[in-house]
Amino acid sequence: MTVLDLTTTEVVAALRQGDMTVSDYVTALTRQIKDKSGLNAFITFDEDLLGAQAVELDRRRAAGEDCGALFGLPIAVKDNIETADYVTTGGTGALKNHRPSHNAPFLQKLLDQGALVLGKTNLHELAFGITSNNSVFGPVRNPYNPDMIAGGSSGGSAAAVAARMAPFAIGTDTGGSTRIPPALCGIAGFRPTMGRYGADGAVPIAHTRDTMGTMARTVADIQLIDHVVTGEAAPSPRTDLKGIRIGISRTYFYDLLDGQVEKATEKALSVLRDLGAELVEANMEQMPALNEAISMPICLYEAVADMTDYLKGTGLTFDQLIAGMGSPDVKGLYQAICAEPPVSPEGYAQLLTEGRPKLRQCYRDYFADNRLDAMVFPTTKLAARPLGQDETVDINGREVSTFQAYVHNTDPSSNAGIPGVSVPMGMTEDGLPMGLEFDGPENSDGNILQIADIFQQAVGRLPTPK
């Protein structure tokens, strides 16, 4: 095992104990980033700046200064998250020279604990898609097969962690963007309860859905960062899931699964049973209709309003933003919703005051009535598919929307604002990762992370991409 194989937790321990210097570690990562440049995971990488910051951290440690709980941890940052030392492009042309004056608050909390920015990672343009097939900066490629998508929108962050270019990454999640790429790239990804991390300092899509999220090779790494950021005490240690009740909603979440995903999911459920969990078959009959009624109308309405507000700080107009877009799906979408809003202001207000509360109550009732600690389902209906299949994909002989195929299972909890974590559950016959997601009641973040961690320890980590 090399230093590149160290998990976030192991890296932090080695750096704090002096087993390696920050300079030596970032040198190893720099070499890997260059070797794996064909994956196109990074938009901006400044070797000189990174090296200088590493030297300064080593100096501070040698001087006996308190360097924080995350001393020396290099973090890959999705390029729609504001950074003072790097441009923040949002993956789009008009923002190529956009340099914010400050770091996003969530990122700043990590930097205050001694972490440093490794570089800015590629993404689906303006984070509005699930393939990371970016026409401005080029597509992100899957580390397990570069002909395949890495997922989106945080594709570069997930690919960087999976390919050992970074131990840890942060991204944003509006409808699945810190869970879909991890599922397709074979790592763990976390979307917290809405408000736990916030989304301030990110190029927006929809403020009532956007949140920062985290990605790492193990759930234990995500737990470490969550504890540092929130200060919340970890649940009592445990090695099994005895007494834990986990819901299975066969309708919706298990509909039209790729055959290999279905097989892997059933095997994962057997692992959960072996760990002592009680699996409760209980369908969410009302959820699909409640989610469909609010999901895209809220997202698309807020997309124009929120981006308009954000652009006030950049000096750009909306027309200039659209002119700089390169990805046909994103450009066409923004042109359409600018020309004709998906819902009236009165309709939007009603969705917030009536529609979303009904969905949130549906989830509360599901967990409470069935006495559930969590629910479980495959993160995506299928593993990664080839780059270029942006419109439709085939699942069991049926052509379905690519976007809906991948976002289907992650979207409802995003609208409900509850926490979800994706963890690797196995590989397809072609060597592509598949993910299993655990969702929990709002503010049960620590509990579902613990459940996912126990599951990951039982199934083990996936092999390193070749």
Tell me the catalytic residues: 78, 153, 177
CB atoms within 10 A of CB 430: 11
Alpha helix positions (H), 192-286: 219-230, 250-253, 259-274
Token pair of 400, please?
């379905």
Token pair of 377, please?
């389902």
What is the bridge-based pairing of β-strands 211-216 and 188-191? antiparallel
Helix axis angle, 328-339 relative to 287-311, nearest 10°?
A: 90
Residue 313 burial (C-beta neighbours within 10 Å; 0-12, 13-18, 19+) = exposed
CB atoms within 10 A of CB 77: 29
* DSSP3 helix / strand / coil % (the chain, rounded to 5): 45, 15, 40
Contact 149, 172 (CB under 8 A): no
Rounded Cα distance, 414 and 416, in Å: 5
Contact 22, 54 (CB under 8 A): yes
Supply φ then ψ for residue 437, to 5 degrees.
Answer: -110, 140
Rounded Cα distance, 290 and 226, in Å: 31
| CA nearest to 403, candidates 417, 422, 382 | 382
Helix axis angle, 219-230 relative to 105-112, nearest 10°?
A: 90
